[in-house]
């Protein structure tokens, strides 16, 4: 299964939806470039929808950390939401839930972003 993403810009934030399997660093190159552009355009509040992400490994975790870092360096924040059970377990096992803000719904994510 391939990896794909969509970015939806709103007035003061962007929603990044990930889908498929994120298992190779090269799969995320375009996503990271587009996120860099978002931050330059002052879209530093990122709600990252993981509902359609079926699998990821350490490369996927690294990609999420890079998204968070780009948002924070730009003065913003990134919130993960809508995670499948396997992805949530991976976030917990790696203790990344202490680094990320994690919610169940988009509404909760937007609230954490101050929107």
Rg of the chain's alpha carbons, rounded to an integer? 13
Q: What is the pLDDT of residue 31?
A: 98
pTM of the predicted structure, to 2 decimals: 0.96
Tokens 């929107």 sit on residue: 115
pLDDT of residue 106: 98
Cα–Cα distance for residue pair 37/100, rounded to 1 Å = 21
In angstroms, what CA-CA distances link 43 with 25, 59, 98? 24, 24, 23
Q: What is the pLDDT along the chain (115 residues), one digit of tens a residue?
A: 799 999 999 999 999 999 999 999 999 999 999 999 999 999 999 999 999 999 999 999 999 999 999 999 999 999 999 999 999 999 999 999 999 999 999 999 999 999 9
In terms of residue numbers, what domain contains 37? 3-112
Residue 64's domain is classified under what CATH number? Answer: 3.30.750.24
Task: Kindly compute the dihedral angle of the four CA atoms of residues 112, 32, 28, 13, in this order, to the nearest 10 degrees.
Answer: 30
pLDDT value of position 16: 98
Overall domain count for the chain:
1
């Amino acid at each position: 299964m391939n990896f794909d993403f969509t970015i939806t810009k709103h007035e003061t934030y962007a929603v990044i939806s990930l889908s498929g399997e994120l298992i190779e660093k090269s799969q995320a190159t375009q996503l990271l470039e587009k996120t860099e552009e978002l931050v330059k355009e002052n879209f530093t509040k990122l709600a990252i929808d993981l509902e359609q992400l079926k699998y990821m490994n350490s490369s996927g975790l690294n990609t999420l950390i890079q998204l968070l870092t780009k948002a924070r360096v730009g003065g913003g924040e990134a919130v993960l939401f809508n995670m499948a059970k396997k992805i949530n377990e991976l976030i917990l096992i790696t203790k990344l839930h202490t680094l990320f803000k994690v919610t169940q719904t988009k509404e909760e994510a937007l609230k954490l972003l101050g929107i």
